[in-house]
Structure 1
Amino acid sequence: MSTTTTAVPEKTTILVIGGGPGGSYTAAALAREGHDVVILESAKHPRYHIGESLTAAMRTYLRFIGLEEEFVKHGFNLKQGALFQLVQGMEANWTDFQARIPDYETWNVVRSEMDNLMFKHAAKEGAVAFDETKIESIEFEGNGDPKTARPVAAQWTNKQGQSGRIAFDWLVDASGRAGVMSTQYLKNRVMRESFRNVAVWSYWKGIRATGRPYSFYAEVLTDKKGWAWFIPLNDGTTSVGFVTHQNTSTERRSKVGPDGKKPTVTEHYLDMFQYAPHVKDFLKEGEMIPGTTHSASDYSYWAGGYAGDHYRLVGDAANFVDPFFSTGIHISMSGGLSAAASICSSIRGDVDEMTARKWHDLKVGMLHVRFLLAVMGAYRQMDLEQQNFDYASELLCQGKEYFNHAFIGFREPIQELRTSGDKTEEWTVEDVNNLMEGFGHFFDSSVDEPDVAEVMKVHGMQSISIMAPVLGNKKIEVMAEDEMTRNVLKKFDARKLFGPEVEVNSLKRQALFGYIVNLERGQLGLIYAQLSFDFVLHAIWGRTEPGHELQAVDVDENPLTPTTRNSVYSRFSDALLPLDRRYITTWARYSSGCAFIPL
């Protein structure tokens, strides 16, 4: 079946493998720019998929491809926040997505419905979309080595018994966990031992709410060997599952019962509820739907690179962290837009292909390590057995370039905490551990809205803006008049880990290799980051200070050269003196590699 009556063409400009969220999003963005795009999806839509809770950035991404209104009308459950029970016996932490930005409510979704909606939307925007059509093999230029040669065509088959060959100029691999390019050709997928987890889940009906209607709920297990999730869906069912390390899962499923048999998947699943008292209580009035128990393992991984000559990896085909923060679809869409922008610019000749693919690779890698560190920080807060793994070393070994760029804003405040060693720019294991410890304040349940309002009243909006620069412990200790203020400032400092990812406009807030994304329809692509007084002020506070006139900086050279950085600092240092010169110095220092420029 396909969204078109035509046959799979013999040639296209861009071939997208996979019609899940990442593939459909990339295809829609490219098609809206007028490019010839074909999507080949192996399954038949609508089809089942796990991953039912979305992040607060979802609305802005849907708005960019023109899908927000239809998505809202569909009737998915609104998700106004998330509850995290990370310590048994203590109050759960409520993260309110709408506390200060009402537009940031998101959804819990039935994935078969959402994915089908996005697949059809890509076709509506101009992509030629086929489901039940599988890629059998990929051809490379001159039959060369896939690690160095450019992909040029693919062989396909479909459920109707047809087969064929499609040539292309560009390839986007959004094939999900299958990761066609990564696993079959590049052979660069690396499994993450510390998150070699197993998830087991099922669906329930007739259950009561958590007290926060339609919220995502996560609970640490009482034996500290994993965690449970609870996600109410729009079809009246609730997704309930457990995540444990593979060693724990294997041990439990190997135990022989009184009947001399090992437990089935369903029996193992039901046995897990003894470790999740709150989730178990939610299910008192519910009934598990027969035949809906599922299991998945070995799902945390990354590829050694996310782009190459005329190809891009997107979504689960590139990497996957962990379901804890529900970031899978967010990463897919952000990576999809990055792929689309870099391809558009390369096609137009705005940048050379090497720069375009390096931009996408760095963007996807940064996003991955940012959410990976967040999950590692959460696992530490839950005091899970996985914390015996050396998270810090694993993060640094995975890709220092990704890590350095992802956490530039945290570097100086974190290095101030070093107890030994030189104050160099290199991240150390101690630094990373301090960064994860600091992120733990994200889950501080003692902070409530009246506290936040009081801190805003005294210190201004910039004190709790996740787009403002990181304060760090030393500055917070100077600013805080009491423990309440200290806790609020530390919590919002921790939230800044997600700052660049709160909406689609993050792609025009970070200059990578001197380029940001132009998000204007018809001009999607990479452009030079233009420095202005507005940029400088936002880089410091995440807002414009009253009384400052905004004037562009006119330069005849690359705005991110050392000469320009120095002239910007010199020109505006006096105006910025009432604020904090440290941040403009830090911003100017790192802008050539990755300028964090909130707007």
Structure 2
Amino acid sequence: MVSTSGTSDISSVGNTDVIVIGGGPSGSTVSTLIAQQGYKVTLFEREHFPRFHIGESLIPETYWVLKRLNMLPKMRKTQFVKKHSVQFVTEKGKLSEPFYFSDNKPHECSQTWQVMRSEFDHMMIKNAAEHGVQVHEGVRVLEVLFEGTRAVGVKVADERGNVRDVFASVVVDASGQSSMIMSRLGLREWDQELKKAALWTYWEDAYRDKGRDEGATIVLQTQGKKGWFWYIPLHNNILSVGVVADYSYLFKDRETKDHEAVYFEEVAKCPGLQPRLEGAKRIAPYRAAKEYSYRSREVAGDGWVLVGDAFGFLDPLYSSGVLLALRSGELAADAVVAGLREGDTSGAKLGAWGPNYIQGMERMRRLVCEFYNGFSFGKFVKLYPQLKGHLTDLLIGDLFDEKVDDVVEPMNHIRRLQAEKSAALPVE
């Protein structure tokens, strides 16, 4: 067993069945599930955990993957804030009807968590080691080794200066947004509609709701619907609060580029947020991420597969990032295990899960795009109360069931009505 602390020495690392690049949620998931089936898995992570990462809000469908990972007992023992719902606040500061997960699906899976990612990710990678994954932190993957179009291993370097080639039947790229294989093969496609950016920080003593609403993720629109804030209550009296808007609006078309000034200009445009920050103390620097929505043209190739952000990233709006990391890791793990058992590690075999996964990702993307195009949850539920359950299913992360497609035509109908209304307005 390789410790997940201290400095790794790779001089004695041998060949393995599967190499995983990156120890975030997707890498920890795929490696754990493959190791559970008795295969030798070696994971290389360039950083030492715990380390900072954004994306703190889980959604309920993560439950099923966490269960397979044997993570649920550990999660229940944490201080992580329990999350029961998501709530939306209009540009005028009006709270719409909350979406309580258990009202739609009365099961323990409907209670999830708001996590400090440094702690959650550390738990996940330690869990991988406990399941037999050979975890090496502080080790950089310099390149993925190919023989023709087939990935056959990686070249790695540790902090002591050791460099060596390690070979495997399958290489899983879970390297995050840097996505080594995607970048090498030129597979990245930027989302031309979701050219967003985010700016965030952390607060102490900000307002918290009580009872069932204490752990709710709150989405608050800014005036003119130019952007929105996330409001995520974490443990230890910490609140994660960030703004998302078009990249050009947030960072390019302004007189100031100072992050603090931009942040508070947007707070001033968000009447639902202002009272929540009264008396609060900022406890962290401002951080930014720009134009982050993309996807790979391929999910797998001969001897390689992409998972998590190494395949694609959607948008932080509905907190789908960790779910997509865990789900892609789970699906890829099952495909890798099947391929190893059958002696078939072709791209077709390793990527057989891709179409269904992408379809689920597209369902979430549609909901994201609708929001940015003026979609109102309150108006939708008022017009189609019978479909609130399906809308809640999407917010829960139940993305892989065709029943949720029942919301598509009503969304199209509302959009047509909006277009007709706009066309009827007099021209000034």
The answer to whether TM tops 0.5 is: yes
Aligned counterpart, 1:475: none
Aligned counterpart in structure 2 of residue 101 of structure 1, from 93, 106, 109: 106
Q: Does 1:125 align with 2:131?
A: yes
Aligned counterpart in structure 2 of residue 502 of structure 1, from 374, 398, 401: 398
Q: Does 1:134 align with 2:68?
A: no
Greater length-normalized contact order (CA 8 Å, ≥ 6 residues apart): 2
State the Cα deviation string for residues 265-297 of structure 1 (Å, max 9, x = none). 1222222211111112101121111x4210111
Aligned counterpart, 1:491: 388
- How far residue 445 of structure 1 moved from its aligned partner, in angstroms, is 6.9
Indicate conservation of the 8 Å contact 1:77/1:107, yes or no: yes
Indicate conservation of the 8 Å contact 1:309/1:354, yes or no: yes
The 10-residue stretch of structure 1 (352-361 or 120-129) with the greater mean CA deviation from structure 2:
352-361
Aligned counterpart, 2:278: 284
State the Cα deviation string for residues 234-283 of structure 1 (Å, max 9, x = none). 1321000001111102345x41xxxxxx4421222222211111112101
State the Cα deviation string for residues 35-92 of structure 1 (Å, max 9, x = none). 1001111111000000000111122211111111011102211011111124535432
- How far residue 354 of structure 1 moved from its aligned partner, in angstroms, is 5.1
Aligned counterpart, 1:250: 251
CA distance in 1, matches of 2:368, 2:233: 22
- How far residue 109 of structure 1 moved from its aligned partner, in angstroms, is 0.6
Aligned counterpart, 1:159: 159
Aligned counterpart, 1:466: none
Q: Write the letter of the residue equivalent to 1:125.
A: H
Indicate conservation of the 8 Å contact 2:30/2:333, yes or no: yes
CA distance in 2, matches of 1:265, 1:16: 36
Q: Write the letter of the residue equivalent to 1:376.
A: C
Partner SS for 1:74: coil
Aligned counterpart, 1:80: 84
CA distance in 1, matches of 2:89, 2:355: 33
CA distance in 2, matches of 1:121, 1:378: 37
CA distance in 2, matches of 1:248, 1:101: 41
Aligned counterpart, 2:203: 204
Q: Does 1:231 align with 2:232?
A: yes
Indicate conservation of the 8 Å contact 1:331/1:367, yes or no: no
- How far residue 493 of structure 1 moved from its aligned partner, in angstroms, is 4.2
Q: CA separation of 1:445/1:214 partners in 2, compared to 1, >3 Å: closer, same or farther?
A: farther
Residues 442-481 of structure 1: pairs in structure 2 closer than 5 A: 443-444=377-378
Partner SS for 1:190: strand
CA distance in 2, matches of 1:82, 1:106: 11
CA distance in 2, matches of 1:208, 1:90: 16
Indicate conservation of the 8 Å contact 2:220/2:270, yes or no: yes
- Consecutive unaligned residues of structure 2, counting only runs of 5 or more, are 404-428
Residues 177-326 of structure 1: pairs in structure 2 closer than 5 A: 177-183=177-183, 185-211=184-210, 212-252=213-253, 254-255=254-255, 262-289=256-283, 291-326=284-319
Indicate conservation of the 8 Å contact 1:338/1:363, yes or no: no
CA distance in 2, matches of 1:205, 1:496: 32
TM-score (norm 2): 0.86
Indicate conservation of the 8 Å contact 2:96/2:378, yes or no: no
Partner SS for 1:193: coil
Indicate conservation of the 8 Å contact 2:336/2:345, yes or no: no
- How far residue 502 of structure 1 moved from its aligned partner, in angstroms, is 3.2
Indicate conservation of the 8 Å contact 2:25/2:326, yes or no: yes
Indicate conservation of the 8 Å contact 1:307/1:360, yes or no: no
Q: Write the letter of the residue equivalent to 1:47.
A: R
Indicate conservation of the 8 Å contact 1:108/1:233, yes or no: yes
- How far residue 189 of structure 1 moved from its aligned partner, in angstroms, is 0.3
Q: CA separation of 1:496/1:121 partners in 2, compared to 1, >3 Å: closer, same or farther?
A: closer
CA distance in 1, matches of 2:270, 2:133: 45
**Once superposed, what is the RMSD of the aligned Cα atoms?**
2.4
Indicate conservation of the 8 Å contact 1:41/1:133, yes or no: yes
CA distance in 2, matches of 1:182, 1:47: 24
CA distance in 2, matches of 1:287, 1:374: 34
Aligned length: 395
Partner SS for 1:381: coil
- How far residue 361 of structure 1 moved from its aligned partner, in angstroms, is 2.1
CA distance in 2, matches of 1:180, 1:264: 32
Q: CA separation of 1:341/1:371 partners in 2, compared to 1, >3 Å: closer, same or farther?
A: same
Aligned counterpart, 2:416: none
Partner SS for 1:444: helix
Aligned counterpart, 2:406: none
Q: CA separation of 1:55/1:112 partners in 2, compared to 1, >3 Å: closer, same or farther?
A: same
Q: Does 1:116 align with 2:50?
A: no
Aligned counterpart in structure 2 of residue 60 of structure 1, from 59, 64, 68: 64
CA distance in 2, matches of 1:29, 1:247: 41
Partner SS for 2:315: coil
- Consecutive unaligned residues of structure 1, counting only runs of 5 or more, are 256-261, 383-439, 448-483, 511-538, 540-599
TM-score (norm 1): 0.62
Aligned counterpart, 1:21: 25
State the Cα deviation string for residues 327-364 of structure 1 (Å, max 9, x = none). 00100111001100111111111977454234122133
> Highest Rg: 1 or 2?
1
Q: CA separation of 1:41/1:225 partners in 2, compared to 1, >3 Å: closer, same or farther?
A: same
CA distance in 2, matches of 1:116, 1:101: 30
Indicate conservation of the 8 Å contact 2:153/2:170, yes or no: no
Q: Write the letter of the residue equivalent to 1:226.
A: G
CA distance in 2, matches of 1:357, 1:210: 45
Overall identity of the aligned pairs, in %: 26
CA distance in 1, matches of 2:50, 2:286: 19
CA distance in 2, matches of 1:176, 1:151: 18
> In proportion to residue count, which structure has more helix?
1
Aligned counterpart, 1:590: none
CA distance in 2, matches of 1:177, 1:300: 10
Q: CA separation of 1:186/1:72 partners in 2, compared to 1, >3 Å: closer, same or farther?
A: same
State the Cα deviation string for residues 516-546 of structure 1 (Å, max 9, x = none). xxxxxxxxxxxxxxxxxxxxxxx9xxxxxxx
CA distance in 1, matches of 2:93, 2:124: 41
- How far residue 230 of structure 1 moved from its aligned partner, in angstroms, is 0.5
Residues 505-524 of structure 1: pairs in structure 2 closer than 5 A: none
> In proportion to residue count, which structure has more strand?
2
Q: Write the letter of the residue equivalent to 1:329.
A: V
CA distance in 2, matches of 1:210, 1:278: 13
